[in-house]
Amino acid sequence: MSINKKVNLLSVSLILFLGLLLGFYFIRHEADVLNAELDERTAVLLNSLTTNSEYPILIRDREAISRLAKGILTQRDVAFCRIEDIDGTVLFEGGRKEGRPIREFSSTVVTNRVVEERDEGMILGASTEVEEEMGKIYLAISLSGLNEKIKDIKETVAIFTIVTVILVSLLSSLLLKLILSNPIHMLVRGTERIARGDLDHKVPVKRSDEIGILAVSFNKMTADLKATTTSIANLNKEIVERKRAEEKTRKEREFSEALVQSICPDVLIVVDKDRNILGCNGAIERMFGYLPHKLIGKKTDLLYENRNRDIGSRPIWKVLDKRGFHVGEAVGRRKDGSRLDLEISTALIKEKRGVVLLVRDITDRKTAEKMLLKAKEQAEEAEKDLRKGNDKLKKVNRELKEAQSQLLQREKLASIGQLAAGIAHEINNPAGFVSSNLNSLQGYISDFIKTLKEYEKLLSLCKQKEDKDLLALAQQVENVKKEVDLDFLLEDIEKTVGESLEGTKRITKIVRDLKDFSHIDEAELKYADINEGIESTLNIVWNELKYKAEVIKEYGDLPEIECYPQQLNQVFMNLLVNAAQAIEEKGQIRINTFSEDDHIHIQISDTGMGIPQENLSRIFEPFFTTKEVGKGTGLGLSMSYGIIQKHQGKIDVKSQVGKGTTFTIELPVQAARKEGTAD
């Protein structure tokens, strides 16, 4: 199909579409206008009928109503009429609405009625006008006339559209032929002449529109084609001369390559920007096993096991520094598949046309470096082992120091225990017979008091007799009684003996506690009451506490635990003495015990000066002390920590400077028998 026909078809289609669109809009508008006119005319008829039928409906005048309705039915397009009163009774019905298109309308008939109002307070009364519904009128309007008019309009619009499309199509075809078809045929004929070799032919330019511009371009193309033909002839001459120059350059290059291969012992490779090998010297066969001419045109990746990370797949000149030179390392791959370590020096060729690679085999150097690195690693490993051995020696040395400190403390405690046992034995003998004599004296005094009471009765009987000698003797006894204050003596002597007996009991308890304390190295586990152990220790150290602190005891109900009781007493003694020494003037020491799950807990708190935060982590170290020289050895808390650890327990400390310190001990009720002795 020609361009002319295609354009004509497109124009006709566009015009037809626009005609149909305008026709549809015009028909729709005219239909809306006709419908509005029909509705307006029907409204006028219905209003006129409603007004004129008000009175006949009021008086039920069927004849007058019939005249009015029949007059309405004679009007154009009125198909049906029905009039009803307020009760729904049909006063008139005429016409027909079945079998045809209709549109129904209705209206209510109303009248104004005066309503009189009378009241006892009114003289003349009052009246009000109200609107009252009387009936309803129904009209059915036939749509046949309206539809006929709309049909006529559609036919008129269709005829006008068809005629318009035909005329416009003929006119556009004529214009297209004059404007487009004739110039294009002229260009086609010019092309055919140029194809036959007539390069001097020119297409006449008669217009300045796009067709004219196309003609100018066509003429210019013809001129350029003529100039190109001339250039080709000249080019053939240049090609012959260039081949001669290339042959001369090839011979010079071969001479240069032979010179380079004889001078450079390393592999020399020339690579273009796409990593294609352009040339290489004979050393490449010795290093990689490839013949030089076999590698021409191949990628350099053929020679590598892997690429250097800093090169990757980027253009090769981007990895070169500002001087246009780069040295790196890579793993090479020989023709037989074996690997070798390479050092590659890369230099940029002028204008980034490629690079020159100088490749050296550094496998022997790499092997030596690996051996050196392995020796270094072995030396570092030996150094680590030496450090571990040194750490073990330090640990053993520290454990020996701790054992030595504990041994010294044990020797010291053993001496104190022996001394305490001797003192207890020496005190126990006199305390025993003093206590025995006081018990006997208490019995004697009781008998003596009993006898005196009998003498009192006898003296009372003597006073009742009239015998002067008896009366004089009774008076003499009474005077002696008053002189010595016998009543006070009898009361005080019993109190004094009781206090003496209480003192001997206390001496006996102290002696027993000293004996128990002297057995600190007992080697057997036994069940003991921790509360009793704390009480026993308090008796030993009471002299250290009574002038410095008030001791508040809050003992819980504790089960007996399996332990080394005398060693735990040593822990309690160390904590209580430290608490007393931490109190500068007068303070409080609080002892709290309780049980929880399968463990018992002992808390010993004081209101002393507290322990600085930087010393809290060191207080259990042997020989560490913050006391003055001569007041502490630094072994008490260290031994206490060891004793608690031996009982599979825990000891914790919390302290605040200026407020005091709290030691918390946690011990299991049932000892885990990991150790057979108490050493």
pLDDT in tens, 45-57: 888 888 888 888 8
Does residue 309 register a pLDDT over 50?
A: no
Of 537, 571, 582, whose CA–CA distance to 639 is shortest? 571
Task: Say if pTM beats, i.e. exceeds, 0.85.
Answer: no
What kind of fold does domain 523-668 have according to CATH?
Answer: Heat Shock Protein 90 (3.30.565)
pLDDT in tens, 380-438: 888 888 888 888 887 777 776 666 556 555 545 554 554 455 555 556 666 665 666 66
Q: For residue 529, what is the DSSP state?
A: -
Note the CATH architecture for domain 264-361. Answer: 2-Layer Sandwich (3.30)
Please state which of the four CATH numbers 3.40.50.150, 3.40.50.800, 1.20.1200.10, 3.30.450.20 is assigned to the domain occupying 3-112+129-164: 3.30.450.20
88 burial via Cβ count (<10 Å: 0-12, 13-18, 19+) = exposed
- Whole-number Å distance between alpha carbons of 117 and 282: 139
**Per-chain mean pLDDT for the chain:** 77
Looking from the CA of 458 toward its CB, the CA atoms found within 13 Å total 9
pLDDT in tens, 468-513: 776 777 777 777 777 767 677 667 777 777 777 677 776 766 666 6
Whether the domain at 3-112+129-164 and the domain at 264-361 fall into the same CATH topology? yes
Contacts of 567 (CB under 8 A, 6+ apart): 520, 522, 643, 646, 678
Q: What is the mean pLDDT of residues 158-164?
A: 83
Residue owning tokens 């002393």: 608
Alpha-carbon separation of residue 259 from 249, 263, 266, 281, 303 (angstroms): 15, 6, 14, 10, 24
- Whole-number Å distance between alpha carbons of 292 and 360: 16
pLDDT band at 260 (very low <50, low <70, confident <90, very high): low
What's residue 311's pLDDT?
46
96 within 8 A of 79, measured Cβ to Cβ: yes
pLDDT in tens, 4-22: 666 667 777 887 788 788 8
Most confident of 121-125, 225-229, 597-601, 615-619: 597-601
Letter string b/e over residues 344-381, b meaning 16 or more CB atoms within 10 A of that residue's CB? bebebbeeeebbebebebbeeebeeeeeeeeeeeeeee
Domain ranges of the chain: 3-112+129-164, 264-361, 393-508, 523-668
What's residue 679's pLDDT?
43
